[in-house]
Structure 1
């Protein structure tokens, strides 16, 4: 595997990760509601979720999802239901910063689990990796070596991306105190999460 090939993969991954999606929205909502203490747990949860999706893809689950309508539909429903649940909870937070309990009363493991579920329980993530990774593989280089390098690179970028969003949002939390602005954020974020859940169910497997 050439350095150029790795650099192209890293650049493409960084761009894709920076595009806000359900995972980033969850990270931002936690950080706005509970401050900088959520940054590390959420970033770890995101990295673990991506690790799960990438590993399952490497083991061939991506091909199984593409071939089995039942498995694909089951994962879509589970992932979509969780996104809708989080969206409704955020929407109902109203004009308060806390869509969840105070940070010091929420175990870090619970925050990690939330981020992991949103990131990993999305069949689109697995099928995405199946379609994305092969573009950068060199058939003349050892497969497992390339997979380890690519996975480590992507997970490091995913961790840093989530951490950056969380830190930025936690700093904005000290500035944004307007109840109306928070209500708009919560309702917009909640609506987007519910929409993401519905879109997951509506997505066709191929």
Structure 2
């Protein structure tokens, strides 16, 4: 796998634009950051990045077919992620009239935020096929090179993680400087979005 500097530079904005598109993972980052603080949004982003790195490695090593054969495992992960999102959405709606207390924020598990981001991303087995289709546009997949492999993985971390982190920071800042009365509709809209996303994850083929 060889990659020239031009291909390297071109892959970065492409990955960043794709990471910025509205999606379930973006919604999860925004909701966790807005409701529990920016640290939770960043932990969700970390989970997303770890899952994307796994998909990228499988795609780069030509293991797309193997991943598809293990689709049953990813289906279980997808269903679990969907159920969690529905539960989280219901919790948001039920708590829309209750102000978050500092102790409840501090006591919330960042591990849950990380696992949520990981599960939501792993639930999309088609992402491996996407990476397998995207990387050949920028990388010569016929002559593997360790340095180029590391470069692609670093680009994935920088692009995906960087964009999700920006979402987390913006969500937390908007919530912190916004009208306290806006918390209730925010929770209602966010909760409904989580329930819809979770239902879609569970029901889709």
Question: TM-score normalised to the size of structure 1?
Answer: 0.79
Shift of 1:18: 0.9
Match of 1:12 in 2: 14
Q: Within 5 A, what are the aligned runs for 1:94-173?
A: 94-96=96-98, 98=100, 102-139=104-141, 141-173=143-175
The reply on whether 1:24 has 2:26 as its aligned counterpart is: yes
Counterpart secondary structure, 1:184: helix
Asked if the contact 1:49/1:120 (under 8 Å) is kept, the reply is: yes
Match of 1:189 in 2: 190
C-alpha RMSD of the superposition: 3.0
| Cα separation, 2, equivalents of 1:117 and 1:13 | 20
Q: 1:65 to 1:88 in 2, by over 3 A?
A: farther
1:46 is aligned, of 45, 48, 51, to: 48
Q: 1:97 to 1:150 in 2, by over 3 A?
A: farther
Asked if the contact 1:62/1:130 (under 8 Å) is kept, the reply is: yes
Shift of 1:86: 2.8
Q: 1:166 to 1:97 in 2, by over 3 A?
A: farther
Shift of 1:149: 1.3
Shift of 1:58: 4.0
Asked if the contact 1:33/1:97 (under 8 Å) is kept, the reply is: no
| Cα separation, 1, equivalents of 2:87 and 2:62 | 30
Match of 2:199 in 1: 198
Shift of 1:44: 2.5
Number of equivalent positions: 203
Shift of 1:9: 1.2
Q: 1:59 to 1:77 in 2, by over 3 A?
A: farther
Counterpart secondary structure, 2:177: coil
Asked if the contact 1:27/1:162 (under 8 Å) is kept, the reply is: yes
- Consecutive unaligned residues of structure 2, counting only runs of 5 or more, are none
Question: TM-score normalised to the size of structure 2?
Answer: 0.79
| Cα separation, 1, equivalents of 2:119 and 2:67 | 18
